[in-house]
Chains A and B, each alone.
Chain A
Amino acid sequence: MTDDATSLLPSDEPIQYLAPDGSVVADFDHLGLTPDDLVGMYRDIVRTRTLDTLAISLQRQGQLGVWASARGQEGAQVGIAWAMGLRDWAFPSYREHGITTVRGVPFAALLKQYKGTWMGLYDPHEHQVAPHSIPIATHLLHAVGYAKAAALSGDDLVTLAFIGNGGTSEGDFHEALNYAAVWNAPTVFVIQNNQYAISETNEHQCVAPSLAHKGIGYGVRSFSVDGNDVVASFAVASEAIESARAGEGPALIEAHTYRMQPHTTADDDTRYRPPEELAEWLERCPLDRIELYLRSQGLADDTLCDEIRAEAQAEAAEVRAEVLAAGPEPIEALFDNVYVEPPASLLEQRAAVLERLQEVHA
């Protein structure tokens, strides 16, 4: 049990360094971010926005079954991903396209999942990104177990576990926070509070003062941050990650942000979202904010911004071509990795399918 309970509580207001108009609210020299870093974050936000927009188009063109857009949440995601060490692991939910993009997971691999070629076509160990989890909050426990295993093995990596505001109602969210706290596991939990869980607002989920306040019940230090401020997201995540790495235990971050698109392309947000609310949040767009900041500081101009956008478009064109060309895995792939050592009954089914297809083709 901890003595200093109030130190676990989040700040009254979300931590912020950049105002929506790009002006500096608080000095952040102490973060050691170079101009290249800041431009790099901007570039990753542009890339994520561009690739995410491509995905929406591909879904509308019938290429993807569905798409869950991260538009509006790129500031939190890119800032936090930039705070991660190379060996740290991310355990994403299904809307963390900014995280995966920064970590180098091929965007086409995500899109192919939604095209239906396979469930996950990248090696998690190559990018230190676990396969995204669709059952809400279940993967937080994997992040805690991974962190505990690393700590037991004398490995100083940190795991980051990503969840939305709706997910904080799931039992596994609470179990994961408690396990991490009791085990002092180096896990940083990130709630991206994008204000909605499909159609449900936070009032349907929680009456605590904030979602970050849920940490104190488990003895977990908690932070509240403006998730549309990439610099603040980076700053808070860096502090949480490095304190976890130093053995000071897990942390919980609530990043206040906004889902600018429907839950997925299958959702109709006009049934529940007031248009004036979206307009209000568009004024706080994370992409515009960092760009305005960079321009105001003379770190970016039209030429650089156009170049970055053009690069992202070129990347998107390559991804698009790869996704359009992608077909399903061969049918035997269905059977080949269910087990390391498959039972005979499964091998019989595999053989029967192949035989049937051979007959069909003959």
Chain B
Amino acid sequence: MSPSPPVTDRSYTLAEALNAALHDAMAEDDRVVVFGEDVATLGGVFRITDDLQRKYGDDRVFDTPLAESGIVGTAIGMAMYGLRPVVEIQFDGFMYPALDQMISHMAKLRNRTAGAITLPMVVRVPYGGGIGAVEHHSESPEAYLAHTAGLKVVTPGTPEDAYSLLLESIRHDDPICFLEPKRRYYERTQGALPVTTDPIGRAAVRSTGETATIVTYGPMVPTAMKAAEGARDEGWSLEVVDLRSLQPLDYDTVVASVEKTGRAIVVHEAPMSFGAGAEIAARIQERAFYALEAPVLRVTGYDTPYPPSLLEEEYLPSPDRILDAVDEALGY
């Protein structure tokens, strides 16, 4: 089968990019199988797996029972056999039944067997808030995953990266949690697919600046870019570093930026305490202590369960909150 070019109008959304990556991965490698809840006939509730079953058949694209531990657990068995499963967890909040499989086995089997078993598999998870959803549909579970030795955590913030990072993740031999910023599924970019961006593990500087470094990833990348635009009105220039993956995490790029700006603000949707921001701030002070003009600040969700939708706007980091943090950092 030839790769599918679903995108021909020289612009595409992040969702379309993910779909195209899945089509192209399935076309290039027979070992790739896709399964999960509603992924086959329906094409996924967000249509990320649209048309895959029609094109690649029931044997390679199939719906599963509604049991997430089963989705990940059977994917582990398939990867042990030599397939390359790409499974979908329908929503972030429904991933938790699968955490035992992810932490106890997906992360550890290679290590336990001294390398005899590798698990080339991808668990796709739409994550984060901002879509007015009901409870359990807006979680940001990345810290649990990035904290688990043996897992890799990749999260695109742009449509280009959505395509390139997903395709690379499917080709990659380590087990990967691929976190998709669902509120950005319909963000559109100009250009055509396929596209190849930087490899996993390299951060991207989305905007260059001198005043402060905004370190972020996934759904907060466009938010940080809006803050960077707004900063110009204040006479500031912000450097936005899009991490693209939390494990591995490109500290070199982060540190180089902070050494230039002297100020760093980490932005994520997940609650503040024990979140990715804590780790990133610790690394910055370890490696760029003398370059810092101010403490590393964090703009994050609050340490509460995710709020009901009418309150989420205030819960989620916004350009205003980021600019307030820049102002605070400049006060030192």
Contact = CB atoms under 8 A, between A and B. Distances in A.
The yes or no verdict on A and B being binding partners is yes
Interface of A: 118-121, 123-125, 130-131, 133, 135, 138-150, 152-153, 159, 171-172, 175-176, 178-179, 182, 329, 333, 336-341, 343-346
Contacts of A135: 100, 104-105
Contacts of B172: 340-341
B207 interface: no
B104 A179 contact: no
Interface in B109-131: 109-118
B170 to A, nearest CB: 14
B67 A338 contact: no
A124 B104 contact: no
| Interface-centre pick from A147, A149, A178 (highest chain B CB count, 10 A) | A149
A124 B111 CA distance: 13
Contacts, number: 146
A96 B59 CA distance: 33
Given A176-B70, A340-B118, A150 B81 contact: yes
A186 to B, nearest CB: 12
Interface residues of B, number: 48
A146 B65 contact: no
Contacts of A344: 201, 248, 251-252
**Which 8 A-B pairs give the minimum distances between C-beta atoms?**
A145-B77, A141-B73, A343-B248, A145-B74, A149-B81, A142-B77, A175-B70, A146-B77
Interface of B: 33, 59-60, 64-65, 67, 69-70, 72-83, 85, 97, 100-101, 104-105, 109-118, 149-150, 152, 172-174, 201, 247-249, 251-252
Given A337-B115, A338-B111, A339-B174, A176 B81 contact: no
A124 B101 contact: no
Contacts of A138: 69, 73, 100-101, 104-105
A141 B69 contact: yes
A328 to B, nearest CB: 13
Given A143-B77, A178-B70, 8 more contacts: A124-B117, A142-B76, A144-B74, A149-B83, A175-B69, A343-B201, A343-B247, A343-B248
A145 B172 CA distance: 20
B83 A152 contact: yes
Contact of B249 (A121, A146, A150, A343): A343
A158 B82 CA distance: 16
26 contacts: A118-B114, A119-B113, A120-B112, A130-B80, A133-B105, A138-B105, A140-B73, A142-B73, A145-B73, A145-B78, A148-B74, A148-B77, A148-B78, A150-B81, A152-B33, A152-B59, A153-B81, A172-B73, A175-B70, A182-B65, A329-B114, A338-B111, A338-B149, A343-B249, A344-B248, A345-B251
Contact of A340 (B74, B173, B252): B173
A189 B58 CA distance: 25
Contact of A131 (B65, B113, B248): B113
B22 to A, nearest CB: 18
B173 A176 contact: no
Contacts of A339: 110, 150, 152, 174
A139 B77 CA distance: 8
B281 to A, nearest CB: 15
A118 B85 CA distance: 28
B31 to A, nearest CB: 9
Nearest to A341: B174
Contact of A144 (B33, B72, B77, B111): B77
Contacts of B80: 124, 130, 142, 145-146, 149
Given A149-B77, A171-B97, A340-B110, A123 B251 contact: no
B114 A333 contact: yes
A331 to B, nearest CB: 14
A338 B97 CA distance: 23
Nearest to B149: A338
Contacts of A144: 70, 73-74, 77
A172 B77 CA distance: 14
Q: Which residue, B73, B173, B247, has most C-beta atoms of chain A within 10 A?
A: B73
A340 B76 contact: no
A343 B243 CA distance: 14
Contacts of A175: 65, 67, 69-70, 73
A336 B105 CA distance: 17
Contact of B81 (A133, A141, A145, A338): A145
Contacts of B74: 141-142, 144-145, 148, 179
A339 B108 CA distance: 9
A288 to B, nearest CB: 36
A131 B76 CA distance: 13
B104 A146 contact: no
A346 B152 CA distance: 12
Contacts of A140: 73
A265 B104 CA distance: 24
B116 A124 contact: yes
Nearest to A185: B74
A44 B174 CA distance: 38
Nearest to A126: B116
Contacts of A345: 248-249, 251
A179 B70 contact: yes
A161 B300 CA distance: 44
